[in-house]
Structure 1
Amino acid sequence: MNPLSARERMLGRLRAAAPAPSPSTAELDRRIDSHFEARRRGPADIDARVSAMRLALEASHAEVWCAGDDAWPALLAAGLSNAGVRRVLLDPSSPAGAALAGALPAQIEAIGYDRPIEQWKAELFDTVDAGFTVARSGIAATGTLIVAPDAGSPRTVSLVPPLHIALVRASTLHQGLHMASRAERWRDGMPTNLVMISGPSKTSDIQQTLAYGAHGPRRLWVVIVMDTEATEGRA
């Protein structure tokens, strides 16, 4: 009889060993929550989260403004006019898209994403100056926008135009990624994809020369809307 090989002996020990009990999903969630609760260090109130969000975004070379619900469309319209923008890609069927479109001066055209990309790729890449999206929420600690693309505002809107403009409401800012996933209950059903944006597109070569706009927008404008739904102490 041939002696058992080292591989056979190892597999035999593994088969004979009793499987360790696996913790339930609820228990794993409790452990994860406890881990992050014990280490949470961040702004607890909305004003502090707005400040942290702004500082983190500006550190990543984004341009950030804070404005009220009534003021932000005119603020953006003036900024776009001063920047020489001529065409803005937005979702005219959304409240925010309609508000911005209505505030734009005559020389700036608002266009919607209403065709398959194959039908207007050259026009999209060559003639659209800016894309406007509304973030689902934000992460204050890292200055990250969480964007959930949909049919009216697909990923292309935030990726192709050289200027990306994002609107995020102060009441949707979370302290960190864990708090965002828990508060928004991502485990109960994630969208097809979430785009997380922490600044304009940037890359560097082997000599560590930083370049903006190589793989996406080279400029990022963010307007934090100080909405009336903001309440103290939201996670």
Structure 2
Amino acid sequence: MTTLSARERMLGRLRAAAPAPSPSTAELDRRIDSHFEARRHGTPGVAELVASMQAALEASHAEVWCADEAAWPALLASELSNAGVKRLLLDPASKAGAALAAALPAHVVATGYDRPIEQWKTELFDTVDAGFTVARSGIAATGTLIVVPDAGSPRTVSLVPPLHVALVHASTLHEDLHMAARTERWRDGMPTNLVMISGPSKTSDIQQTLAYGAHGPRRLWVVIVNDAGGKEMAR
């Protein structure tokens, strides 16, 4: 028997085999939903999700504050000033970006991402101290920010500056990844670039020695905004 005839016989058997029936997409969704729902114990409230989100982020070496809608711009402006930030990259056309820019002291300059990176790469890498983004939502179980970059706040804003400052609203927190995907209906169309951030950038060598900032920001600040009503959250 030649190698070629053996190959042909093998392929013939595969073609002749009856294909196994495939479950429908709806049935697969039902099975996945049932699996995750069986693992959950009740429905956590907003305060519980916030506490879980904060604990997971801090375990990953992020710095976290909780504030209401009126207080967060002044809080962040003060922290940025105290940290010695002189130039902050943000989207001034967004509601949150405009609010933060208005709260900044005079010695902290708000800069918009308004040029192709080729025109100011050196300036961006050498002079911008921090980047500010607003997360679309968050995953409380893992302390993960879900960020969808756009033209005013591209991926560079959360990747290049040594400090990444993120805002996430308590009303957008999900219990886990499955709940995020189902609630936001990711199956109906994923964005071109969906970024998940869980703590500052870190890596380790063969001896498992952690190093921060090798592939992105060395520090991550997160403000969880209490926009869901109820008692004010404290840090």
Indicate the larger mover: 39-48 or 93-102. 39-48
With 184-193 and 204-213 compared, the bigger mean Cα shift is at 204-213
Question: Aligned with 2:13: secondary structure?
Answer: helix
What secondary structure is seen at the aligned counterpart in 2 of 1:56? helix
Q: Secondary structure at the match of 2:131?
A: strand
Mapped partners of 2:197, 2:160: distance in 1? 14
Map of 1:174 onto structure 2: 174
Q: TM-score, normalised by structure 2?
A: 0.93
Write the letter of the residue equivalent to 2:97.
G
Tell me the residue number matched to 1:83: 83
Please state whether the residue corresponding to 1:21 is helix, strand or coil: coil
Query: Across the two proteins, how many residue pairs are aligned to each other?
Result: 230
Structure 1 segment 26-65 matched on structure 2, within 5 A: 26-40=26-40, 44-65=44-65
SS of alignment partner, residue 180 of structure 2: helix
**1:193 maps to 2:193:** yes
- Mapped to 1, the partners of 2:50 and 2:226 lie a distance apart of 9
User: What is the CA–CA distance in structure 1 between the aligned matches of 2:180 and 2:85, rounded to whole Å?
Assistant: 34
Structure 1 moving runs of 4+ over 6 Å: none
> What is the one-letter code of the residue matched to 2:78?
A
Q: 2:206 corresponds to which residue?
A: 206
Tell me the distance in 2 between the aligned counterparts of 1:42 and 1:166.
29
Percent identity for Structure 1 against Structure 2: 83
For the residue of structure 2 that corresponds to 1:66, the secondary structure is strand
The one-letter code matched in structure 2 to 1:46 is V
| Distance of aligned partners of 1:186 and 1:78 in 2 relative to their CA distance in 1, 3 Å threshold | same
Partner of 1:223: 223
Aligned to 2:121: 121
Aligned counterparts of 1:31 and 1:182: Cα–Cα separation in 2: 13
Q: Give the Cα separation in 2 of the matches to 1:193 and 1:43.
A: 30
Show the counterpart of 2:95.
95
Give the structure 2 partner of residue 233 of structure 1.
none
Deviations 1:62-88 (A, max 9, x none): 000000000000000000010010000
Please, what is the CA RMSD of the aligned residues? Answer: 1.9
Superposed CA deviations along residues 42-68 of structure 1, whole A, max 9, x for unmatched, are 861111010000000000000000000
- State the Cα distance separating 1:6 from its structure 2 match: 4.2
Q: Find the residue that maps to 1:141 and give its secondary structure.
A: coil
- For 2:53 and 2:85, the matched residues in 1 are separated by 26
Distance 1:42 1:208, change over 3 A: farther
Q: Deviations over 1:179-215 (max 9, x none)?
A: 0000000011111111100000111112221111111
Distance in 2 (CA, whole Å) between partners of 1:172 and 1:56 is 16
Which string of whole-angstrom CA distances, capped at 9 and with x for unpartnered residues, describes residues 68-121 of structure 1?
Answer: 000000000000010010000000000000000000001100000000000000
Gaps of 5+ in 1: 231-235
Match of 1:10 in 2: 10
Q: What TM-score do you get using the length of structure 1 for normalisation?
A: 0.93
Q: For each residue in 1:145-203, what CA deviation from the matched residue of structure 2 results, as whole angstroms up to 9, or x when unmatched?
A: 00000000000000000000000000000011110000000011111111100000111
Output the amino acid matched with 1:153.
S
Contact 1:42–1:141 (8 Å) recurs in 2:
no
Instruction: Flag the 1:176–1:228 CA change in 2: closer, same or farther, 3 A.
Output: closer
Which residue identity lines up with residue 207 of structure 1 in the other structure? Q
Q: Distance in 2 between matches of 1:17 and 1:107?
A: 73
- Aligned pairs for 1:132-171 (under 5 A) are 132-171=132-171
Partner of 2:74: 74
Q: Are the aligned partners of 1:203 and 1:211 in contact in 2 as well (CA < 8 Å)?
A: yes
